[in-house]
Chain A
Amino acid sequence: MEGLIQGFAVALTPMNLLFGFLGALLGTLVGVLPGIGPIGAMALLMGATYSLPPATALIMFAGIYYGSMYGGSTTSILVDIPGEPSSVVTCIDGFQMARKGRGGAALFIAAIGSFVAGTIALFILTWLAPLLAEVALKFGPPEYFAIAVFGLLVLSQLSGQGLLKSFLMIGVGLILSTVGMDAITGQPRFNFGTIGLKQGIDFVPIAMGLFGVAEVLEVVGQEWDQKQEIIRVRLRELLPNRTEAKRSVGPTIRASFLGFSTGLIPGPAAVISTFLSYTLERKISKRPKEFGQGAPEGVAGPESANNASAVGAFVPLLSLGIPFAPPTALLLSAMMIHGVTPGPLLIKEHPDVFWGVISSMYLGNIMLLILNLPLVGVFIHVLRTPKNLLMPLILLLCIVGVFAVNNSVTDLWVMLLSGIAGYALKKYNYNVAPLILALVIGPMMENALRQSLMLSLGKFDIFYTQPFCRALFIVAGLIIGGPFLLGWGKKFFRKGAAAKDAPP
């Protein structure tokens, strides 16, 4: 409680309030705009926040991340286009509600659901993050190696592109992470004589290339002059009726806990949580046939879940210093740039940052609620920007954003090459999220592996004699091998049943 009060003292300073508001506003804008997400926006502003105190910069970045979750729902409901992947499910019932003239109510349900779920998740984060940090203080290199491997293995199963493709993307990310200075010996490697690569491949140009430039190239290769029908909403139409409000309470509460728990899992947690919440609500609903036709539960559940999972994703970042999702990986980069090392010691070494960011999220949720409902008409106007103007502008912002971080032309080359590679990978149905996470987790994983081997005098059994490591590897093994075993079991029993039924 003392820490939280200290956090509010940090978050309530005029400067931090202003930057928290800016973050929430920018987050909503990038959430509304398909094509540029929170990663692009954060990377873009990375260089511009050098002169800011670490807490202020991180408060703004956190605002961008959870703000984008709010913004994504607006376009899903009014245009049937998800601003963010985590708002895809909202399109199903949100747009149907809007077509029936209940667009305002859908927006209200989404905003209130996001606010309630975000706040519930924050309560859990406030309680859980310091507790986990306390436990993590006892962790050594083997535990960190196990967490990194566990994270990457679970992510490979959840990225939705098949195990081999996921593993390949993880492998490429790990290879890229070895370029540059070796953290233990301090010697350069794989820099091919260039000074630009001596410090390694930065995460920002790779992320901007894979998410920003690749998106621009994808739009160039498509038809971009399609006009969209945008449903108008008046301010007085915003309130839901009593039935809609009543039907939204349960899904919001359930999705808060479901979303938060999903946020702790590596991978695209925000997206997964929305699908899980939608499926759960349809399963337990008394009116399952209304789903897909404009059921308020189909908006309240997923929208609450994605906000709660965005908050949940802060737990591994703040307590362990390990990002389990690309946006939190960017937050990790931002922390490092500002000289703040996330992990179990963060709460002791930088309590202003730790509690300041958490407290600012409570305030940010209130700001987003105030911002999103009355200003929905303003945000929706952003969508009218033609793509053939928007995409060159995104390219310009990517260039300035990447160059601003290190003033390095090598970073520009890395971004442009990753953009082209990202475009090609998308064409061949590869999801690049595992690559990004592996690139960030790679150095930590390598150091933890080498330190563990040094500690154990070269014995690999250090990874299964420690109970925590053993438990993580078993769980990861079950997650990876589970579907295969289940499939094999089903086949086996089906064969057995067929043999029984067959005439003698």
Chain B
Amino acid sequence: MSPTSRNMIVPATIGGLTLIYLYESFELPFGTAHMPDLGFVPVLFGFFVLGLCLLMIGKEIFSPRPAKDEDGNTEEKTEGSPGSRRNLILISVAIFLYPLSLVNLGFILSTIALMFVCLWIMKFRGWFGSLVTAIVATGVAYLLFGVWLNVYLPKGVWG
């Protein structure tokens, strides 16, 4: 990917989301300048962000500058090895599945599973060592927060 298109990803994404936000803002009552209603400020904020995104995209299109790293090099940053990218995706998926499993399976089972996946992917020990560590860490967290500090943690299948 060229540095210019790389630099446009964030403003373009935020700009797209801001359009949805602005659409929703216009659905709210706007009020008047002397009696601003709940849509007044969101519309101002929305246009402010949209304007910034357009400015940044325009700047990239009309005066593109190669993205420089800290040392002043213009090459793209190393993205990491394919292995680390795969690990990143796997852990992101595990993290995304966690809130879903938390409600159904409960804190203990879902947290053991998440911890095991993370430890195993990050090659802490073999599968058995990772499993034992995941069980111990989750157990300690449950005792500390759930029992000692009385924090509510979902029980799920054990409820």
Interface of A toward B, CB cutoff 8 Å: 47-48, 51, 164-165, 167-168, 171-172, 174-175, 178, 182, 184-185, 187, 189-190, 213, 216-217, 220-225, 386-389, 391-393, 395-397, 399-400, 403-404, 407, 409, 412-413, 416, 419-420, 424-425, 427-428, 430, 446, 449-450, 453-454, 456-460
Inter-subunit contact A392/B122 (CB<8 Å): yes
Contact of B11 among A168, A185, A222, A387 (CB under 8 A): A168
Q: Chain A residues with Cβ under 8 A from B114's Cβ?
A: 395-396, 399
Inter-subunit contact A400/B137 (CB<8 Å): no
How far does the alpha carbon of A386 sit from the alpha carbon of B119 in the complex, in Å? 11
Inter-subunit contact B37/A392 (CB<8 Å): no
Contact (A388, B115) CB under 8 Å given A47-B151, A221-B80: no
Q: Chain A residues with Cβ under 8 A from B55's Cβ?
A: 164
Cβ of A180 to closest chain B Cβ, rounded Å: 11
Cβ of B7 to closest chain A Cβ, rounded Å: 8
Q: Chain A residues with Cβ under 8 A from B9's Cβ?
A: 428
How far does the alpha carbon of A315 sit from the alpha carbon of B45 in the complex, in Å? 29
In this complex, which of B84, B99, B121, B152 has the most chain A Cβ atoms within 10 angstroms of its Cβ? Answer: B99
B147 lies within 8 A of chain A by Cβ: no
Contact of B118 among A51, A395, A397 (CB under 8 A): A395
Inter-subunit contact B145/A404 (CB<8 Å): yes
Inter-subunit contact B48/A454 (CB<8 Å): no
Cβ of A181 to closest chain B Cβ, rounded Å: 10
Cβ of A36 to closest chain B Cβ, rounded Å: 15
B96 lies within 8 A of chain A by Cβ: yes
Contact (A175, B49) CB under 8 Å given A220-B121, A388-B122, A450-B36: yes
Main secondary structure of the interface of B (DSSP, over half): helix
Contacts A400-B145, A453-B36, A458-B33 supplied; 12 other A-B pairs, CB < 8 Å: A178-B42, A185-B37, A187-B38, A189-B28, A216-B91, A220-B91, A392-B115, A395-B114, A397-B141, A399-B111, A400-B151, A403-B102
Q: Chain B residues with Cβ under 8 A from A427's Cβ?
A: 77
Contact (A416, B99) CB under 8 Å given A164-B59, A220-B91, A453-B34: yes
How far does the alpha carbon of A225 sit from the alpha carbon of B80 in the complex, in Å? 14
Cβ of B135 to closest chain A Cβ, rounded Å: 12
Main secondary structure of the interface of A (DSSP, over half): helix
Inter-subunit contact B10/A409 (CB<8 Å): no
A-B contacts, 9 of them at CB < 8 A, read: A48-B145, A220-B122, A388-B119, A391-B118, A395-B95, A395-B114, A404-B151, A450-B41, A453-B33
B123 lies within 8 A of chain A by Cβ: yes
Inter-subunit contact A217/B92 (CB<8 Å): yes
Inter-subunit contact A221/B138 (CB<8 Å): no
Q: Chain B residues with Cβ under 8 A from A223's Cβ?
A: 84
Inter-subunit contact A458/B49 (CB<8 Å): no
Q: Chain A residues with Cβ under 8 A from B121's Cβ?
A: 220
